[in-house]
Amino acid sequence: MSEASAARPSRAPLDPVTILAAIGGVVAWAGVVLPAALSHRRAEVPVVWWLLSVIVLVCFVMLSDALLRPHPTDRWAMVVGVAAALGANLVWGVDQIAPVFLVLLAGACGWSLQTRGLVVLGVFLVLGLMGILVLKGGTIVWAVVYGALIFFASLMVDVVVRSARERDTSAAVARELELTNARLVQTNADLAATQARLAEVSAADERLRIARELHDSMGNQVTTLSLTLELIARHTTPETEGLVADARALAAGLIRDVRGAVTQLRDGPVSLRDKITRTARSLPRPAVSLDLDATLDEVSRTRADAVCRVVQESLTNAAKHAQADHAWVNVHRRDGWIDVSVRDDGQGADPITPGHGLVGMTERVAALDGTVQWSSVPGQGFSVVARIPDLAS
């Protein structure tokens, strides 16, 4: 009995199985005491036996609460309860049903002791009962019968307790895995957004490099050619004047084309279709079906960023909060608007409490004179609809 009750982890309060077991134990205790109280031989029962019976009941109730709320006094409750149960059998009733007290205490100790401690306790109780029976002239058969009941009660409670502990541990692990999975989904979405941004920056840097090369090499050469033609024009003859004029016009047109190419490379359109596709493919779930307008790559950078933010935030919510298996993304340009629709088959919510993601998404779209609406029905998924004025780059 040296193993403290703290060896058992506490469980949630008001456990119905434990409460029913405690009630059953009290009824069993009453099944020992009431026959003695109602018997015509009750005058033969010593007063100390009644006192010890009450002590057994008090210790049993204290130990019944030990699994729910372990307390330092549990150790003393076991010691006092076992001593009182053995004492009651020694005083009176060992040849009747007083050994039931030992079975009750053994079962109650199963809520506080580990398996090894229960085996030691069972051996101690059986030996104590055998000694009392020998002392009182009783038969050892009762020691075997009640000994079997003692081991059965204590070890059965031990099995139930270990099963409950494993169940609670599994539930805690499942909750931790769910939280970890949600964090991984969010991290994956953030990484996808970072990758998309890096790809965009890389493409922008490449366009800027090409623009500089065009400006520094071809631009300077064409400008030099134009100046040379201007000098030649001052010394032309009537026969060559038309040819020089045509050459100067071609040079001027070439200068305009080079400048236009440089401008387009520096401020080129964002590949919105690629960004949305990368965002959808970066998530392990939900599976995403895409329906994208073929001309999305023509929208301006600011509007492309807003559209991508709506899609990214909606898919992240579908994965993190809605536990969706499938999502549908539709982005189209029509009648001067960019229409964005994202819906999923998740668990839905009612009412909807907007988080930082939905609020930030709405503010970004509102800054472009657009609108965002969302709706959800429990068990029927979540949908986001955004409309942004379409200004092509």
Question: Buried b vs exposed e over 333-368: b needs ≥16 C-beta within 10 Å?
Answer: beeeebbbbbbbbbebeeeeeeeebbeebbebbeeb
Helix (H) or strand (E) holding 271: none
Tokens of 212: 């500089």
pLDDT of 183 reads 81
Q: What is the per-residue pLDDT across 290-346, written as a single tens digit (0 to 9) for each?
A: 999 998 888 888 888 899 889 988 888 887 777 788 999 999 999 999 999 999 998
Do residues 314 and 342 lie in contact, with contact meaning Cβ atoms separated by under 8 Å?
yes
On the 0-12 / 13-18 / 19+ scale of CB atoms within 10 A, 135 is: exposed
Q: Interior CA angle at 205 toward 203 and 207, to 5°?
A: 70
Q: What is the per-residue pLDDT across 216-270, written as a single tens digit (0 to 9) for each?
A: 656 666 666 767 767 777 766 776 777 667 676 666 656 665 666 666 555 555 4
Do residues 303 and 290 lie in contact, with contact meaning Cβ atoms separated by under 8 Å?
no
Please state the φ and ψ torsions of residue 336, each to the nearest 5 degrees: 80, 15
pLDDT-derived band at 7 (thresholds 50, 70, 90) equals very low
pLDDT of 10 > 60? The answer is no
Tokens of 337: 């608007």
User: Rounded to the nearest 10 degrees, how much is the dihedral formed by the CA atoms of 264, 270, 274, 277?
Assistant: -170
How many Cβ atoms from other residues are within 10 Å of residue 292's Cβ?
A: 18
pLDDT of 22 > 90? The answer is no
Q: What is the per-residue pLDDT across 127-176, written as a single tens digit (0 to 9) for each?
A: 999 999 999 888 888 889 999 999 999 999 888 888 888 888 888 888 88
Q: What is the per-residue pLDDT across 45-104, written as a single tens digit (0 to 9) for each?
A: 999 999 999 999 999 998 887 766 777 888 999 999 999 999 999 999 988 889 999 999
pLDDT of 95 reads 85
This model's pTM is above 0.75: no
How many Cβ atoms from other residues are within 10 Å of residue 113's Cβ?
A: 30
Helix (H, G, I), strand (E, B) or coil at 195: helix
Domain boundaries in the chain?
5-173, 199-266, 270-389
Which class is domain 270-389? alpha beta
Do residues 115 and 155 lie in contact, with contact meaning Cβ atoms separated by under 8 Å?
yes
Do residues 393 and 271 lie in contact, with contact meaning Cβ atoms separated by under 8 Å?
no
